[in-house]
Amino acid sequence: MNKKGFIFDLDGVIVDTAKYHFLAWQQLAKSLDIEFTEEENEQLKGVSRVRSLEKILAWGNKTISQELFDDLMAKKNEEYLGYIAEMDDREMLPDVPRVLNFLKAHKQPISLGSASKNARTILERINIMSDFDAIVDGNDVTKAKPDPEVFLIAAKELHMSPEDCIVFEDSVAGVTAANTANMISIGIGSKDVLGHAHYVFNDFTEISDDFIKSLIEK
Ligand code: BG6
Ligand code: MG
Domains of the chain and any CATH numbers? 5-16+93-217 (3.40.50.1000), 18-84 (1.10.150.240)
Q: What distance, in Å, lies between the first and last C-alpha atoms of the chain? A: 11
pLDDT at site 218:
87
Closest atom of ligand 1 to CA, residue 119 = 14
Which runs of E-coded beta strand occur in the chain? Answer: 5-8, 110-113, 134-136, 165-169, 184-188, 199-201
Mean pLDDT by 10 residues, the chain (218 residues): 96 94 95 92 93 96 96 97 91 97 98 97 95 97 95 98 98 97 98 97 98 96
- Determine whether 89 is an active site residue: no
pLDDT at site 182:
98
Question: Which residues contribute to the annotated binding site for Mg(2+)?
Answer: 9, 11, 169-170
Give the C-alpha separation, 80 to 197, whole Å: 28
Name all residues whose Cβ lies below 6 A of ligand 1: 10-11, 18, 21, 44-49, 52, 77, 114-118, 138, 171
Q: Which of 26, 40, 42, 48 should be mutated for ligand 1, with most atoms under 8 A from CB?
A: 48
Question: Residue 7: which of 138, 153, 196 has the closest Cα?
Answer: 153
Nearest ligand, CA 138: 1
- Determine whether 133 is an active site residue: no
Residue identifier of the C-alpha nearest atom 14 of ligand 1: 116
Model pLDDT for residues 154-200, shown as the tens digit of each residue? 999 999 999 999 999 999 999 999 999 999 999 999 999 999 999 99
pLDDT at site 149:
98
Q: Which of 10, 11, 75 should be mutated for ligand 1, with most atoms under 8 A from CB?
A: 11
Buried b (16+ CB within 10 A) or exposed e, 44-79: bbbbbbebbbeebbeeeeeeeeeeeeeebeeebeeb
